[in-house]
Structure 1
Amino acid sequence: MTEARSILIKGAELIDEAGRSRREDVRFCGDTITAVGALMPRANEQCVDAEGGLLIPGLHDHHVHLASYAAALQSVRCGPPEVNSEAELVEAINRPGSGWLRGTGFQEGVCQQLNRAWLDQHGPNRPVRIQHRSGRLWIFNTLAIEQVKAAAANLAPHEQVRVSRPDGLYYDADEILGGLIRSEAPPIGQASQRLVKLGVTGINDMTPTNDGVAWDWFLGLQNSGDLLQRVRMSGRAELSAQSNLPGLACGEVKVHLHDTVLPELESFVELIRTSHSSGRGVAVHCVTEVELVFTLAAFRAAGTLKGDRIEHASVMPFELIEQVVELGLVVVTQPNFVFERGDAYLRDVPEIQHDSLYRVRSLIDQGIATAFGTDLPFGNPDPWAAMRAATERRTLSGEWLGEHEAVSPERALSGFLGSLENPFVQRTVTVGAESDLCLLKAPWQAVRLDLAAHHLRMIVCRGKAIDVKER
């Protein structure tokens, strides 16, 4: 086995949790930072002149769906900002192609009547399935339905019912549909490379169906070099049987609530208790006030474990913040949705709730540990865009949405600097830390005024240095 060569980064700007900066040299070898200070190059050591550019730990996205993101790279965008009208949707899905057409990102503002009949009338003569931006709903045309029906012939009757709706609207059936119509694995290597080029060196995959099979798949992808990032895998309770490995760790039990079909409170409470007994926290999808109230009631009955998380906290009325504090819960939220979906929220969400959408500043002010995830592919995978949204709180059209929830650039950056096991404590460049790094072309005082990925110069992911090409 070839011994890892050390790399020395000369004259980099380091910042601490408060944003104070200093210039240092940093040496790393393999997976570990071995020295920080005034360092002299060693014989045959690669040396990189940082020229005063900012050097920070690699970014961690604390809420992703990696397989869905990879599949989205082979899909047609069917919603904003690329597609904003029914005419644009017709144009998008009728571009030349053959076989299955997979669309993503659809929202009702594009087309109010998207269903089987609409796709048959306006779509191409090929199987079509389009995913709603929420990730919960797929809309199929007749050719697609016929293929699903044929493939589902051997399913149990209760499963056949879930994929037999005549209108082509399939809710919460991803696992069944994937097994029926997926012909090949999504391009994880391509997705991983794209994330590295954005500075993302670690992810928490929050797909609720993650199980032992997904664990083995991710491990194989890491061993083959296709999956570059460190991964914390959250998902089903059965993941508790997995042993943590270098670069792959078991995360929270993920619970995906839907306020129209909530589980029995008693069964939810029992799931939380069982998860806690195995030493795992619980991460609960809460995008409505109803889901949040239900979740708080369940934690109040079951008790909480350090690290129990509210995912999204899309709607957080101020009167519920105190309950979150009392229960000791933490929040992983998506400020990027303020920019990406803010105009739709202003149009569709009652005005009385606007101040409750994707809070950040008020959570921090009340002592709630808060970190960020992009929710890719349902959100833009660029963490720098999420940081900008957290500081600006403006929609795509430039309207304010919860401007009092804006945070400083320092706080926005820290939302992606926590470790995967503890997203709420900022990592810094120190001796003994993992050699996951982002070297930028400019110092922090310039970057904080322009939070953007184009500043990235070099990424170090699990000890491997990767140059970022000019954008």
Structure 2
Amino acid sequence: MIVRNVEVEGRPGLDVRLDGGRIAEIGPKLAARGDEIDGRGGALIPGLCDHHIHLFGFAARADSVVLEDAASLADVAARIARATAARPPGAWIRALGYHETIAGDLTRADLDRLAPRHRLRMQHQTGALWVLNSMALDSLPSHDDPAGLERETGRLWRGDAWLRARMDAQPPPLAPIGRRLASYGITALTDASVTTDADAAARLAEAHRSGALPQRLTLMSGGALAAPADGAYAVGPVKVLLDDHALPDLDDFLARIADARAWARPVAVHCVTAGELALTLAAFGTAGAQVGDRVEHGGVIGAEAVGELKALGLTVVTQPAFIRERGDRYAAQVDPADQPDLYRCASLRAAGVPVAASSDAPYASADPWVGIRAAIDRTSIGGRVMCAGEAVDAATALSLYLGDPADPGGPSRRVGVGAAADLALLDAPLREVLAQPSAERVRATLVAGAVVSGG
């Protein structure tokens, strides 16, 4: 295939020949050979990588009642009523994105009133908590309740794997999200779910083989995981999930790092709060950090921690879209002393800390162009500028999504001879697109030289 008349790294009017899944030749007016795409002068850039996403959760969101923007309990009730009206009594209803600022802390009794004839489960916006109504709870076995389940209130903390194993609901399809992510120009995904086991990995591998998930996949997991012989996915870091209200002791944390080292894998630690980050720095300070070790989110990074991150050689994988989508809530609820430390970017880079970006979908928009814009302007949906000094220029914002999945925050992948033909074709020169970043500017997406979106 030849992609004709494109801009490559600022040079207009070039043709790019693809062969065997790689870029074979770049130059003006290449000889015709095989299929062709007219680039119409648009930029051809490396495909974007989402360095932290939850694929099953994202697929579930597409089949769920979304509550993040609900204005009141009455609004929540209306949305759930529409869902129950469309499903037979007894069916499972999944609601995502609830936050107590909408209508306070809900319990099973509240959910019983919302859905008395359906099995309703509602997830908190953080992803850490489910609340189930009585019909849902009664359908689950009661002889092996996990420590995080409070049957009286219906609350289930960090019980995704337990709940999933005991439900009779069918898993949502992955092809719709594969198409959506491809339409954004995404060619590589790192699933950051701690719950990924051999069965979940096998489902994702099959989705990739079938084309339902055309992107290259890297999978984290909380335990051991082996890559398949056909390369349907690569094995990424061992995920350590921290919760501020139930932090492990240092010895337990060190044991998890030791397991990762025994499996020859780096470590990725969920760090949203200052307390979680402090424990993480202490653990790596004791065990030692290695290439590939990561801090996920970096929700609150105090100025004193920036130097420690640099000294340890840790990478921060952040989510700029949180500033846009949650910035107004942060401004109202986060301690003013902590607000300058929210989702740092520019200051980390200035200190020499590698930084990459991601979506954390379904907990924020999966559209990387939303994240790119937020990294540039640090502006919330309500128009509030958050931590303006953490803004980066447009080229840097894009580069946060261009690192290799095995080296987020490292050098950007390039459109060059010999490189993998994982590409995004834009509808205009790059400078014009970055002036107003939008997924609508993506004309086509190619993985290993094959068109997976547009064309």
> Same fold by TM-score, threshold 0.5 exceeded?
yes
How many residues of Structure 1 are paired with residues of Structure 2 in the alignment?
449
1:165 match: 151
Could you tell me which of 162, 181, 199 is aligned with 1:195?
A: 181
Unaligned 5+ segments in structure 2 are none
Could you tell me which of 56, 75, 92 is aligned with 1:100?
A: 92
2:392 match: 407
| Counterparts of residues 273-284 of structure 1 (less than 5 Å) | 273-284=258-269
CA drift of 1:39 comes to 4.1
Structure 1 distance, partners of 2:57, 2:229, is 24
**Percent of residue pairs bearing the same amino acid type:** 35
Given that 2:16 and 2:25 are in contact with CA atoms closer than 8 Å, whether structure 1 keeps it comes out as yes
CA distances 1:91-122 after superposition (whole Å, capped 9, x unpaired):
11111222111001111111113221212224
1:358 paired to 2:350: no
Structure 2 distance, partners of 1:393, 1:209, is 32
2:311 match: 326
CA drift of 1:399 comes to 0.6
Structure 1 distance, partners of 2:204, 2:453, is 24
1:210 match: 196
1:381 match: 366
1:58 paired to 2:42: no
| Counterparts of residues 211-226 of structure 1 (less than 5 Å) | 211-226=197-212
What one-letter code is carried by the residue in structure 2 that aligns with 1:463? G
Structure 1 distance, partners of 2:171, 2:31, is 44
| Counterparts of residues 298-309 of structure 1 (less than 5 Å) | 298-309=283-294
Could you tell me which of 34, 37, 47 is aligned with 2:36?
A: 47
1:456 match: 442
Could you tell me which of 21, 24, 29 is aligned with 1:31?
A: 21
1:86 paired to 2:80: no
Structure 2 distance, partners of 1:237, 1:147, is 29
What one-letter code is carried by the residue in structure 2 that aligns with 1:38? P
CA distances 1:395-437 after superposition (whole Å, capped 9, x unpaired):
1100111011000010010011111111222011111111111
CA drift of 1:462 comes to 2.9
CA drift of 1:467 comes to 4.4
2:60 match: 71
| Counterparts of residues 113-192 of structure 1 (less than 5 Å) | 113-123=105-115, 125-148=117-140, 152-153=141-142, 155-156=143-144, 159=146, 162-192=148-178
CA drift of 1:22 comes to 4.5
CA drift of 1:182 comes to 4.3
Structure 1 distance, partners of 2:452, 2:220, is 27
Structure 1 distance, partners of 2:149, 2:259, is 31
Tell me the secondary structure at the aligned position of residue 435 of structure 2: coil
Q: 1:243 to 1:220 in 2, by over 3 A?
A: closer
Q: 1:313 to 1:30 in 2, by over 3 A?
A: same
Given that 1:163 and 1:177 are in contact with CA atoms closer than 8 Å, whether structure 2 keeps it comes out as no
Tell me the secondary structure at the aligned position of residue 412 of structure 2: coil
Structure 1 distance, partners of 2:47, 2:168, is 33
CA drift of 1:343 comes to 0.6
Given that 1:13 and 1:21 are in contact with CA atoms closer than 8 Å, whether structure 2 keeps it comes out as yes
Please report the TM-score for the alignment, with normalisation by the length of structure 1.
0.92
Given that 1:235 and 1:253 are in contact with CA atoms closer than 8 Å, whether structure 2 keeps it comes out as yes
Q: Comparing 331-340 with 272-281, which one deviates more in the overlay?
A: 272-281
Structure 1 distance, partners of 2:136, 2:26, is 58
CA drift of 1:33 comes to 1.3
CA distances 1:56-79 after superposition (whole Å, capped 9, x unpaired):
011100000001111111001012
Structure 2 distance, partners of 1:164, 1:70, is 27
2:408 match: 423
What one-letter code is carried by the residue in structure 2 that aligns with 1:180? R
Tell me the secondary structure at the aligned position of residue 95 of structure 2: strand
Structure 2 distance, partners of 1:224, 1:376, is 22
Tell me the secondary structure at the aligned position of residue 389 of structure 1: helix
Q: 1:380 to 1:78 in 2, by over 3 A?
A: same
Given that 1:230 and 1:462 are in contact with CA atoms closer than 8 Å, whether structure 2 keeps it comes out as no
Tell me the secondary structure at the aligned position of residue 330 of structure 2: helix
Could you tell me which of 222, 232, 242 is aligned with 2:227?
A: 242
Structure 2 distance, partners of 1:250, 1:467, is 26
Q: 1:410 to 1:119 in 2, by over 3 A?
A: same
Tell me the secondary structure at the aligned position of residue 244 of structure 2: coil
1:295 paired to 2:287: no
Given that 2:220 and 2:239 are in contact with CA atoms closer than 8 Å, whether structure 1 keeps it comes out as yes
Given that 1:244 and 1:250 are in contact with CA atoms closer than 8 Å, whether structure 2 keeps it comes out as no
Given that 2:47 and 2:185 are in contact with CA atoms closer than 8 Å, whether structure 1 keeps it comes out as yes
Tell me the secondary structure at the aligned position of residue 42 of structure 1: coil
Given that 2:12 and 2:41 are in contact with CA atoms closer than 8 Å, whether structure 1 keeps it comes out as no
Could you tell me which of 102, 105, 111 is aligned with 1:110?
A: 102
Q: 1:245 to 1:317 in 2, by over 3 A?
A: farther
Given that 2:13 and 2:28 are in contact with CA atoms closer than 8 Å, whether structure 1 keeps it comes out as no
Tell me the secondary structure at the aligned position of residue 6 of structure 2: strand
CA drift of 1:146 comes to 1.3
CA drift of 1:346 comes to 0.5
Given that 1:76 and 1:92 are in contact with CA atoms closer than 8 Å, whether structure 2 keeps it comes out as yes
